[in-house]
A and B are shown apart, each in its own frame.
Chain A
């Protein structure tokens, strides 16, 4: 899959409380989550975000709690893919499980509003604005299969079990 969008760049250690504060997590309504995404980090993020835009973080993106509401909020708000230098473990699994693509690039120079294109199959990321190209760390096969299935729920619905 090929994705194109403008970058919104934040720093290191963006925790799940800042992605979606605990007080908003208790809902099954994804639009409610989207309404408060990144609210404590950047109150204007939601109004600036265009559907399909790309969120870019530094290292340890998504640290903190295990709330799946964090990737769900990003996805529901229209973020197409998250790029970071590294991801916190639970966030990484959760994002793939709910079908939000991630690309890990240990070193990148991406600035806010840069135009980015991502090829998910190859992990190739191009910063069109700065004419720079990166290749993301390869995901384990099982995660690629889960992402291709659209998430873990449809993966298990079809396969009934895990295979690695």
Chain B
């Protein structure tokens, strides 16, 4: 029996051939933890009598979830991370450097074919460049810091083949929201998803990251995007599944007629065509997160907001995914365009995505957000409503004061399914 991409990567890291369903011990290429998970991981590492980490050059800490610190309790957790990083000689990205997943890819800590574990569920983002990456908790992460290994069950795989071309005003975010709606929040539980097909080939790395990022919103262990068409500035081995590899499910979808998608409160898999939800008033628009806080996303918003002013009843918050993204947006005028339109820039990092600080909404307020989760209370107030959408929808809705279809901004005739 041939192998899926997940089976190939996990076999290589097990030092033997493994297939779906088998338990195996894998050697890990790198680990990452954020300020939500690193302090507990440090504590667990100490409880394990850990002294040196297995390989300091392969451990990354990022202060991004509540950054800069909003109170003394969190400030002291950040301090624990910094002290541990210095003592063990590991890499730490401090306040304002960016979101952990963005930095892992941007700074080159992940390569195609790698096996990476991160103490954050959106670690699956690195599937964008063909790495098998998955989220673990703090104690599992401490175990890897100690041993360089972990145990794992080799997942079964689901193949999703995407054909056709996205219409203007429709992006990778709409595509992945649509798929989350189709498969459901547990539709790929414990499985690895492989995204392939001609619709993937023209996509940028930014867009591929958006797709891989939300694999966890279907419960997937990993979301591997085919590296077909991927350009990284260095050469790498393209992994292909064997022709006779076994897939638990094979799905096909033509993206050509897809319209912008919106996930409505309070679950990411409650997804609607924008035609069904447009007109819902919004009070806050958030552009950012590891799903859609990259340069491509800021460009998308700037194209819609150039020379215009957002609706007076809306506050628009932008948290660039990294300092590098912010710098590029400053240099090419994007940040100025968005600021002139009325948006406010926040520190690069998770920002309002996880409700720890910054941009907490009021009761009964509606938020249009480019992030990945709209669980009740996610942004810090259980009485608010979060709608998830693409950067174009976020920007155009900020302009209109209500959920609005960005295809109208682009003067293209909306095509419906």
Contact = CB atoms under 8 A, between A and B. Distances in A.
A66 B44 contact: no
Interface string B217-246: 001010000000000000000000000000
B337 interface: no
A90 interface: yes
A21 interface: yes
Contacts of B40: 28, 68-69, 72
Contact of A140 (B43, B118, B140, B153): B153
B48 A153 contact: yes
A13 B186 contact: yes
A26 interface: yes
B414 interface: no
Contacts of A27: 73, 77
Contacts, number: 148
A interface secondary structure, majority? loop
B36 A22 contact: yes
B376 A26 contact: no
Interface stretch (B131-139, B297-305, B311-319, B403-411): B131-139
Contacts of B153: 140
A57 interface: no
A61 to B, nearest CB: 10
A30 to B, nearest CB: 10
B150 interface: yes
A17 B381 CA distance: 11
Interface stretch (B86-94, B102-110, B141-149, B171-179): B141-149
A75 interface: no
Contact of B49 (A13, A23, A157): A157
A22 B39 CA distance: 15
A40 B382 contact: yes
Interface string B69-81: 0000110010000
Given A63-B186, A68-B139, A88-B219, A153 B47 contact: yes
A53 B132 CA distance: 38
A97 interface: yes
Contact of B189 (A21, A60, A94, A97): A60
A156 B137 contact: no
A164 interface: yes
B19 interface: no
Nearest to A71: B137
Interface residues of A, number: 44
Contacts of B378: 17, 22
A64 B180 CA distance: 13
B217 to A, nearest CB: 9
A161 interface: yes
B136 A66 contact: yes
A23 B151 contact: no
A64 B25 CA distance: 25
Interface string A26-47: 1110000000000011000000
Interface in A106-158: 140, 142, 151-154, 156-157
A140 B143 contact: no
A141 to B, nearest CB: 8
A59 interface: yes
Interface in A48-69: 59-60, 63-69
The 6 closest A-B pairs by CB, nearest first: A94-B137, A153-B47, A68-B137, A60-B186, A40-B377, A66-B135
Given A26-B65, A66-B135, A157-B49, 8 more contacts: A22-B36, A22-B380, A27-B77, A28-B43, A67-B137, A90-B136, A94-B140, A157-B47
Interface of B: 23-25, 35-37, 39-40, 43-44, 47-49, 65-66, 73-74, 77, 118-121, 123, 135-140, 142-143, 146-147, 149-151, 153, 185-186, 189-190, 219, 221, 267, 354-356, 373, 375-378, 380, 382
Interface of A: 13, 15, 17-18, 21-23, 25-28, 40-41, 59-60, 63-69, 72, 86, 88-90, 93-94, 97-98, 140, 142, 151-154, 156-157, 160-164
20 contacts: A13-B186, A18-B375, A22-B378, A22-B380, A26-B77, A28-B40, A40-B376, A40-B382, A60-B185, A67-B37, A88-B186, A89-B189, A89-B190, A89-B219, A90-B135, A93-B136, A94-B137, A152-B143, A157-B48, A162-B150
